[in-house]
Structure 1
Amino acid sequence: MVVINVVILLLMIETLSCEANRPNIVFIIADDLGWNDVSFHGSDQTLTPNIDLLAYSGVALGRYYSHAMCTPSRSALLTGKYSYKLGMQGYPLVLSEDRGLPTSITILPEYLKDAGYSTHIVGKWHVGSSREEYLPTKRGFDSHFGHRGGYLDYYEYSYEEDWGKLGRVAGLALFKNQTPAWDVEGYITDVYTEQATSIINKHDTSSPLFLMVAHNAPHASNDGALLQAPHETVREMRYVESPQRRIFAAMIKKLDDSVGDIVAALYAKGILDNTIIAFVSDNGGMTSGEFNNFASNYPLRGIKMSPFEGGLRVVGLLWSANLNNTSHYWDGYMHVIDWLPTLLSAAGIETPADIDGINQWDSINSNSPSERITMYEIDDMVGYASIIYGDYKLLTGEVIQNYCTYQGSNLTGLIGKPPCYVDAIVDSTMYRVLDLIGQPFNIHDLSLRKNTIVQCDTPPTDLCFPGVGKVCLYNIREDPCETTELSASYPHLVLSMQALLQAEVSKRIPRKKVTYRNPLSAPSRFNYTWDTWVQ
């Protein structure tokens, strides 16, 4: 009996030791941020010095891909599975819809919690809230402060749906765990930043921390006020010619400030040196159309809700004080489904076998080739499907053509000179933190910026759109802006890629367009809040 007790004690000590050595993980998600909306991708209009320095001192992910919309990309992130294998593809969830991430599937915070992590989410959820069992605190998170749906008003925290003949319905969309947050005030980006830094400040360091910060910014708000930012911040952006883009630039400024504040809080807590930070956009920017926020993916073709590069190839980076990739850039393919196995591997946790994701930790860290060759995008609501195989991308089915053009070049106008990029870098919070941790940033290393800038020829006027009996093929390595259609030149490649794509389409859980708004979800039934409504 004594021997058994000693063995149990040793196992407990070993387990506690492993937990103490696991890295903290902070995962920051921007909502509808465009490829050309961060300055490390070349923008002189929307300066993002804190985000940029995370890339320059960490690793910029040059070919990071996601699903083309919010709910699908977040579902894939949490499960390591393509969204169409979960029934979560297509148009994002509305709060009057009874659908959610299948509860039979283990998701990222549940793996981390089982390994001893303290798990928290601040901000957007958007993978199910009609039932209590869909909520974050029932899916592995210790706490959730934020909105459960696709977006909310930046000051009033309301969310509105158009129910057709029944009119528009609205209600409070902000919650503290399962309690409506009526008492909260402030600009939501700042509110989420304060909540995130408070979690960091109060964290018990005897266990590792997993903190997901899923910002609303820069997603559009309700129809009456699509773009919202503090007036004083908008005034700072008066060098931006477009009035709408000026407000958008202010929203980006607040987002970048948030990133700097979160990193500073990690440093002040004394845990930055053992923290992995990821920053991504959930999908491409929405330059026009429904809930347009005047983001720009230019010169990439297409926007959010499109299978072209502007909808799928998005901002991504990975930071750790202990990374070995001295080039600070990785050109390998990575998909949103790869985060689950990548982060679990970095945390020393065994990765599940029944997922689509690939562990990219060693490849990124050593700047070696990606193990990913193939990526899929399948939306059976709109009716399109695409496959990336090696250097090539094939698009099939029906697309919304207005979302598949080159957009955003008209938003880049400036009045006079923009702020000095070097000054913005030097004045940033991240610049000071890097100096404090003994990894000062050399301003000459701004030359790293050239690695991430995409340059393309003038877009063609005769665009290929897939349709009935028609496909579009591009070499996205040599032609990242999808200007030269190649299907006639490579018919055998088209047939091979179509076969791979069709095999993948057969694995999907079909998804139909939601045409019914369930009156049981009406906020008026729940003191004008968007609460759970299915028992």
Structure 2
Amino acid sequence: MRLPFLCVLLLLVGTCARAQQAPPNVLFLLTDDQGIGDLSSSGNDSIRTPNLDRLLRRGVHFERFYVSPVCAPTRASFLSGRYHPRTGAISVTRRRETMDDGVVTLAEHLQEAGYRTGLFGKWHNGATFPYHPAGQGFDEFLGFTLGHFNDYFSGELRNERDEAVPFRGDLTQVLTDSAAHFMLADTSPFFCMLAYQAPHTPVQVADGYWLKVAERGLTDYNTGIYAMVESIDARIGELLEILEAAGRLSNTLVVFASDNGPNGDRYRMGLRGIKGQLDEGGVRVPFTMLLPGNHPANGTTISTPTAHIDLLPTVLELIDLPVPAGLDGVSLLPLLNGGTLEHRFLYGFQQGMTFTGYPGSMRGERLLYIARDSQTHELYDLVADPGQKSNIYYWSGHVGPAMAQRYRTFIAGLQVPEVAPPIDLEAGPGTIRLLAHEGEPSGRTRFSDPNGWANDFFVDVGVDGAYWPVRSREGGRYRVKVRYHLDAGQPLDVHVGAGEETLAFRLPVARTEVVPVADRVPRKEVYPRDWAVREVGVLRVAPGASRITFATPTQTGPETGLWIKAVELTRLDATAE
């Protein structure tokens, strides 16, 4: 049956009206260790970033936007609307990067509102369930949960079930392509977080990008960093073109930011400080929002200080969802609509294995207060002295001491949840990976690097061994697999324990090698290694168990060369009896 022309016209009008009323998509582009000076639009004549420059011009450019000094705390604040100590993510490794599972993330808010949610790239807020991306609101995930990935050109990413997904190619391209596929999979509204690893070290980049930057006379390190930024710039340009060609860009909120200051001493607009520091250069980053449609704020610049804690309330209000009470951040809609915000201070805290509030900072419209410790005070006028050359704390009259007191009052009222939570053995599907840097060395056992960064491993493992804090309510039987290196003259007796239960076994000699990598400069991180893998038996874990231990039954010396990368537990049943 053919419908009359008028009916067809009315149906088409109704379809268009519904399309116009569809909630906007959200694309959050986040780079890693890209400082405020790592853009040609920042006055840096050693880098070429035409696509990012154009995005900053087209959108609303926030020229004084602040984050935390390092990766994981910033990510937790972006997703929660809270200062990072309130989320539990106070550092970058040893489970101190883990965001409390009671935090309701931006992804969870949008997921509940009917959005498809996907994260592609770096998570860094918890490696195991319930802290994994799939436990914090993301329907789809392809990336890595650690502080950095060890090789840009090959390896194993993880998915939403924490299963291994091998890849070969260029990681930056793989993540971009995966995000594009997710966003265009259907026409329903999406929240896509594309969290690049670049330009975080190791310094690896394809020849085409390297050779172009190498002509500019920079150090090899900065050549690699700028080449990595330019590779991101090209991929973001391609991604926005794909969305525009598909008709999705006009109804998409595009947010671009970096997670902290530059990972090295390079151009940063004369600002003091780099990654890991509370000074302007360490925490002031590029940030822009390209608003859907022809919003009048697009193409403007806002100089009001704003921060990562403001993203969640701003996105929720933009798409007409309720903003929860009790956040540290505020919606930036008044600024986007040509108004102002009430005066406030923005607080910052240095990363650490425990939270004390020091070093810390407090920024207003003009003044920056920094407490290097509880007795060392600095105050800067960022309008007259943006490079922080003159500490005016001691000749500012009552202003400096008043700001110091306000800072002390604020940190005294911070409620910090459990830090470095135990690994829940029953919270997620599949195999639980007890990674070395998620555990704790004992006695002579140590990390290969003193800090135990991501991808590190235990060395000199002996009778003192190492352990992983765990939580088990039900108990159960687990098949155990070990990833290790053993440079010894003969096999070595080892045991894995859980409370009173012990699984004893013998590891054969396995001398492993470093995997060849395409690093442009020597790296600071550990190199990837072709670890030996051995299934060693079944371990009973009693309900209430609090540790998984790994040790030798008698003391051994470093000459045995036992290194442990991970212990993997695959659940067989739910009873330990």
Q: State the TM-score bracket (shorter-chain normalisation).
A: 0.7 to 0.9
> 1: distance between equivalents of 2:47 and 2:123?
26
Q: CA deviation at 1:177?
A: 2.1
Aligned residue among 511, 516, 527 for 2:440: 516
Q: Distance in 2 between matches of 1:19 and 1:110?
A: 25
Q: Aligned residue for 1:492?
A: 398
Instruction: Tell me how far apart the structure 2 counterparts of residues 378 and 32 of structure 1 sit (CA, whole Å).
Output: 17
Query: Secondary structure in 1 aligned to 2:172?
Result: helix
User: Is 1:69 matched with 2:70?
Assistant: yes
Q: Distance in 2 between matches of 1:333 and 1:118?
A: 31
Residue in 2 that maps onto 1:366: 337
Q: What is the number of residues matched between the two proteins?
A: 420
Query: 2:214 aligns to what?
Result: 238
Equivalent in the alignment of 1:345 = 317
Highest Rg: 1 or 2? 2
Greater mean deviation of Cα atoms: 388-397 or 140-149? 388-397
Q: Map of 1:5-154 to 2, 5 A cutoff?
A: 21-89=22-90, 91-94=91-94, 97=95, 100-129=98-127, 131-154=128-151
Question: 1:394 maps to what in 2?
Answer: 369
Q: Which moved more, 1:68-77 or 1:376-385?
A: 376-385
1:120–1:211 contact (8 Å) kept in structure 2: yes
Does the 8 Å contact 2:28/2:254 carry over to 1?
Answer: yes
For 2:310 and 2:89, locate their aligned partners in 1 and report how far apart those are by CA, in whole Å: 17
Distance 1:145 1:510, change over 3 A: closer
Gaps of 5+ in 1: 1-12, 159-171, 222-226, 289-294, 399-467
State the alpha-carbon separation in 1 of the partners of residues 359 and 418 from structure 2. Answer: 13
Q: Residue 276 of structure 1 aligns to a residue in which SS?
A: strand
| Identical counterparts, % of pairs | 26
SS at match of 1:311: helix
In the superposition, the TM-score normalised over structure 2's length comes to 0.68
**CA–CA distance in 1 between the matches of 2:568 and 2:346?**
35
1:424-446: CA deviation from partner (whole Å, max 9, x where unpaired) = xxxxxxxxxxxxxxxxxxxxxxx
Superposed displacement of residue 478, structure 1: 2.6
Whether 1:376 and 2:300 are equivalent positions in the alignment is no
Distance 1:198 1:515, change over 3 A: closer
Matched to 1:211, the amino acid is C
2:169 corresponds to 1:197: no
Instruction: Decide whether the 8 Å contact of 2:121 with 2:197 is kept in 1.
Output: yes
TM-score by length of 1: 0.73
Contact 1:201–1:265 (8 Å) recurs in 2 = no
CA distance in 2, matches of 1:515, 1:505: 29
For residues 340 and 533 of structure 1, do their structure 2 counterparts lie closer, same or farther at Cα, with a shift above 3 Å needed? farther
Shift of 1:19: 11
Post-superposition CA distance 1:289-346 (Å, at most 9, x none) = xxxxxx5434110011111001111111111242212652111111100000000111
SS in 2 for 1:152: coil
Is the contact made by 1:147 and 1:175 (CA closer than 8 Å) also made in structure 2? yes
Change (3 A) 1:385 1:280: same
3-state SS of the aligned residue for 1:488?
helix
Would the aligned equivalents of 2:154 and 2:169 in 1 still touch at CA under 8 Å? no
1:310 to 281, 286, 310: 281
Q: Which residue of 2 aligns with 1:438?
A: none
In structure 2, the residue corresponding to 1:318 is in which secondary structure?
strand
Distance apart, 1:182 and its partner CA: 4.5
Q: Distance in 2 between matches of 1:487 and 1:333?
A: 21
Map Cα deviations across residues 356-388 of structure 1 (whole Å, 9 max, x no partner): 11000231x234334452111123738301111
| Inter-CA distance 519–527: structure 2 relative to 1 (3 Å threshold) | farther
Q: Relative to structure 1, is the Cα distance of residues 268 and 530 closer, same or farther in structure 2, using a 3 angstrom cutoff?
A: farther
Is the Cα–Cα contact under 8 Å of residues 69 and 350 in structure 2 kept in the other structure? no
Measure, in 2, the Cα distance between the counterparts of 1:78 and 1:64: 16
**Change over 3 Å in CA distance of 1:483–1:243 after alignment to 2:** same
Change (3 A) 1:472 1:157: farther
Partner residue in 2 for 1:480: 386
Cα gap change, 1:113 to 1:325, in 2 (>3 Å) = same
C-alpha distance in structure 1 between counterparts of 2:268 and 2:214, whole Å: 22
Which amino acid is the alignment partner of residue 83 of structure 1? H
Are the structure 2 counterparts of residues 218 and 531 from structure 1 closer, same or farther at C-alpha, using a change threshold of 3 Å?
Answer: farther
2:311 matches 1:336: no
More strand by share: 2
Structure 2 matches for 1:281-320, cutoff 5 A?
Answer: 281-287=258-264, 296-320=267-291
CA 1:55/1:44 → structure 2, altered by over 3 Å: closer, same or farther? same
More helix by share: 1
Measured in 1, the distance between the counterparts of 2:190 and 2:207 equals 35
Once the 2 structures are TM-superposed, how far is the Cα of residue 515 of structure 1 from its aligned partner?
9.1
Q: 2:243 aligns to what?
A: 266
Structure 1 vs Structure 2 CA RMSD: 2.9
Cα distance in structure 1, aligned partners of 2:346 and 2:326: 17
* Cα distance, 1:22–1:524 mapped onto 2, change above 3 Å: same
Q: Which amino acid aligns with 2:126?
A: G
Letter in 1 for 2:256: F
Residue 184 of structure 1 aligns to a residue whose secondary structure is strand
Compute the displacement of 1:88 (Å). Answer: 1.6
Note if contact 1:197-1:261 (Cα within 8 Å) is conserved in structure 2: no
